[in-house]
């Protein structure tokens, strides 16, 4: 067994600073290609809706592969054994795939949108818009926090610097290159970052594997595993990791503004191609890096300070040479940067389009220069908040599963709003609030699950299984198949789930959020006689810069007419 923190290699302080300056300086130089003459509010949010395949696929892959997902996949491997990274990486990859059929519908309805919440403003009104926008602000803050935690833990283990200094280095570097060009900087630097990540993974995983004993490790280290950890079909892994993550990542896919931004930025004819490529890239990388956790489990590694957030950097510091350790540092920094800059861009877009553009400025009179100022101030404030929350060093896997489950309350109302003409603002708002009110006490075990309460939770969770699988089927095969899949799933799982599922708080809480929001939204809408005209969205959502120019030209024409 490897003792706690024994034999850790470190990089010198100046070496770490040089690598960080090289990485962040390089990304900053890349953003200088985005000239000042191209500065505008729409480009800052969506890069003009015409990003090509290569950059889009790289950006989508890099955004989904964050340092936190690497750490969480390794934690899953260490906790649940060999099936842990499979459950984490495979389902996450498939969720990228599930985005594109819904994404094609969203782009068809609103080809010039900047945020999903902006569309909901036209579809429903302020309450639905701000509810989705607010959930994305919370989600992106949690994402930035978890990535700063990953960076701080990395630097604290690999260098003489402490955790606080580490998160300040990371946060400052990301803010510097993101601040000026916003989403354009994020999508441009993602291409370089994904090559850094993939190259490092290809080299580092085999090196660590052979350094720990290679194939012999699976024989000598088998005694370190429980029967569940050694089983490829572990029920523990599925119920505690796989199933909750299936539900969580579907919510991420539908409700996450960082994903929506890339959906709005890529050329419309390249959506399918982009998301299929990102599916393969994400799955291979995350499953591969998660195997570090499995290797640690077989090798008998004890996480430093009992914190599984330290597991990946600890493995690197134990088994890699200084040169590969530097490469590893660049890999993790690239992973966390590619997602953190996306979250900064997402939050700035929400504040620009949803808060200022549609709720503060008068209709059609949003000033693009003011929007850019608001976007940049948002990035500064969000970075400061992320650094503050990161100082608490929370468990990354718990953060990811929690925010994904939280978004589960929004999935059905959001999807239904793009397909079903009968969904109302009241139904959307009430269904989400009721779902959250049910999710939180179940997730945190605030209520006893014995007797009738447990049975009710199990019934709702079973319906939630049908909702999740039905929505997946709906995206690819349409409503009729979705109904059949949902009904079969509920009937097939009910005998096993009822009386049992409430023992798994993370899974049941997430499924309850899905089922309650779906049931409430449906029963509040199915008798509605009014039908929404989806063409209205396309007519009312466009470029803010063009809108300003049009208003200016109209004003000049009016003055000339009066003269």
pLDDT digits (tens, 9 = 90+) for 359-387: 787 776 778 888 888 989 999 999 999 99
Residue 555 pLDDT level (bands cut at 50, 70, 90): very low
Number of Cα atoms under 13 Å in the Cβ half of residue 271: 22
The candidate with the shortest Cα–Cα distance to 258, out of 196, 359, 195, 186, is 186
- Whether 501 has a pLDDT exceeding 60, the answer reads yes
Between 160-174, 246-260, 332-346, the lowest mean confidence (pLDDT) is in 246-260
The answer for residues whose C-beta is within 8 angstroms of residue 407's C-beta and 6 or more apart is: 135, 139, 248, 251, 252, 254, 255, 256
**CA–CA separation, 543 and 527 (whole Å):** 36
Q: What is the pLDDT of residues 57-97, one digit of tens each?
A: 888 888 888 766 788 888 888 999 888 888 888 888 888 88
Intra-chain end-to-end CA distance of the chain, in Å: 88
Q: What is the pLDDT of residues 432-471, one digit of tens each?
A: 999 989 988 888 778 888 888 999 999 999 999 999 999 9
**CA–CA separation, 24 and 18 (whole Å):** 10
Average pLDDT rounded to a whole number, residues 389-403: 65
- Whether 3 has a pLDDT exceeding 60, the answer reads no
Long-range pairs, 486-489, Cβ under 8 A, ≥24: 489/465
**What pLDDT was estimated at residue 554?**
40
**CA–CA separation, 246 and 405 (whole Å):** 10
Mean pLDDT of the chain: 83
Average pLDDT rounded to a whole number, residues 397-419: 76
Q: Give backbone dihedrals phi and psi of 94, rounded to 5 degrees, phi first.
A: -65, -30
The pTM of the full predicted model, rounded to 2 decimals, is: 0.81
- Whether 147 has a pLDDT exceeding 80, the answer reads yes
**What pLDDT was estimated at residue 168?**
93
- Whether 559 has a pLDDT exceeding 50, the answer reads no
Q: Give backbone dihedrals phi and psi of 237, rounded to 5 degrees, phi first.
A: -65, -40
Q: What is the 3-state secondary structure (H, E, C) of 508-528?
A: HHHHHHHHHHHHHHHHHHCCC
Q: Where in 116-252 does DSSP place strands (E)?
A: none
- Whether 557 has a pLDDT exceeding 60, the answer reads no
CA angle, 481 then 486 then 490, to 5°: 150
**CA–CA separation, 494 and 505 (whole Å):** 17
DSSP annotation string for 124-191 = T-HHHHHHHHHHHHHHHHHHHHHHHHHHHHHHHHHSSS-HHHHHHHHHHHHHHHHHTTTHHHHHHHHH
- Whether 394 has a pLDDT exceeding 70, the answer reads no
Q: List the structure tokens of 557.
A: 């024409």
The candidate with the shortest Cα–Cα distance to 513, out of 412, 396, 445, is 412
Q: List the structure tokens of 340.
A: 């953190």
- Beta bridge partners, 266, equal 51
Average pLDDT rounded to a whole number, residues 10-18: 90
**CA–CA separation, 170 and 217 (whole Å):** 35
The answer for residues whose C-beta is within 8 angstroms of residue 320's C-beta and 6 or more apart is: 9, 204, 207, 208, 211, 328
The answer for residues whose C-beta is within 8 angstroms of residue 228's C-beta and 6 or more apart is: 80, 81, 234, 235, 236, 237
Hey, what domains does the chain have and what are their CATH numbers? 14-394 (1.20.1730.10), 420-531 (no CATH)
Q: List the structure tokens of 53.
A: 């395949």
**Residue 100 · residue 272 · CB < 8 Å:** yes
């Amino acid at each position: 067994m490897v003792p706690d923190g024994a034999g850790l290699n470190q990089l010198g302080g100046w070496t770490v600073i040089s690598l960080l300056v090289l990485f962040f300086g390089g990304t900053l130089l890349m953003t200088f290609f985005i000239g000042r003459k191209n500065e505008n509010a729409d480009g800052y949010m969506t890069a003009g809706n015409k990003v090509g395949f290569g950059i889009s696929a790289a950006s989508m892959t890099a955004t989904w592969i964050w340092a936190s997902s690497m750490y969480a996949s390794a934690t899953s491997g260490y906790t649940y054994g060999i099936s842990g990274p499979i459950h984490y990486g495979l389902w996450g990859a498939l969720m990228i795939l599930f985005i594109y059929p819904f994404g094609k519908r969203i782009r068809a309805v609103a080809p010039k949108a900047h945020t999903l919440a902006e569309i909901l403003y036209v579809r429903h009104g302020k309450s639905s818009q701000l509810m989705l926008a607010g959930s994305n602000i919370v989600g992106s803050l949690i994402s930035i926090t978890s990535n700063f935690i990953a960076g701080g833990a990395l630097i604290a283990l690999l260098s003489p610097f402490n955790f606080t200094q580490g998160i300040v280095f990371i946060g400052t570097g990301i803010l510097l290159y993101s601040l000026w060009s916003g989403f354009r900087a994020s999508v441009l630097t993602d291409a370089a970052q994904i090559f850094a990540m993939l190259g490092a993974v290809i080299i580092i995983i085999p090196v660590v594997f052979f350094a720990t004993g290679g194939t012999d490790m699976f024989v000598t280290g088998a005694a370190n595993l429980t029967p569940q950890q050694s089983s490829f079909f572990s029920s523990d892994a599925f119920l505690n990791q796989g199933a909750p993550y299936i539900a969580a990542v579907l919510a991420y896919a539908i409700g996450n503004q960082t994903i929506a931004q890339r959906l709005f930025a890529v050329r419309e004819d390249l959506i399918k191609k982009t998301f299929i490529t990102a599916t393969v890239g994400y799955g291979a990388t995350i499953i591969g890096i998660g195997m570090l956790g499995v290797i640690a489990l077989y090798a008998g590694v004890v996480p430093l300070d009992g914190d599984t957030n330290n597991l990946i950097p600890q493995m690197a510091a134990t088994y890699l040479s200084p040169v590969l350790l530097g490469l590893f540092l660049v890999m993790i920094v690239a992973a966390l940067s590619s997602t953190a800059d996306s979250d900064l861009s997402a939050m700035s877009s929400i504040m620009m389009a949803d808060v200022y553009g549609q709720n503060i400025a008068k209709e059609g009179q949003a000033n693009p220069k003011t929007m850019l100022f608001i976007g940049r101030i948002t990035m500064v404030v969000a970075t400061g908040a992320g650094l503050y929350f990161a100082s608490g060093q929370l468990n990354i896997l718990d953060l990811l599963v929690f925010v994904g489950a939280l978004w589960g309350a929004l999935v059905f109302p959001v999807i239904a709003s793009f397909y079903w003409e009968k969904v109302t603002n009241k139904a959307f708002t009430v269904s989400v609030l009721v779902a959250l009110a049910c999710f939180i006490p179940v997730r945190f075990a605030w209520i006893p699950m014995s007797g009738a309460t447990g049975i009710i939770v199990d019934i709702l969770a079973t319906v939630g299984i049908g909702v999740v699988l039905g929505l997946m089927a709906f995206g690819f095969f349409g409503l009729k198949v979705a109904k059949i899949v949902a009904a079969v799933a509920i009937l097939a799982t009910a005998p096993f789930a009822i009386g049992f599922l409430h023992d798994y708080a993370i899974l049941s809480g997430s499924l309850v959020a899905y089922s309650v929001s779906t049931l409430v939204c449906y029963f509040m809408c199915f008798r509605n006689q009014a039908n929404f005209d989806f063409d209205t969205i396309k007519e009312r959502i466009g470029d803010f810069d063009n809108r300003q120019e049009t208003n200016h030209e109209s004003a000049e024409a009016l003055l000339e007419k009066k003269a």
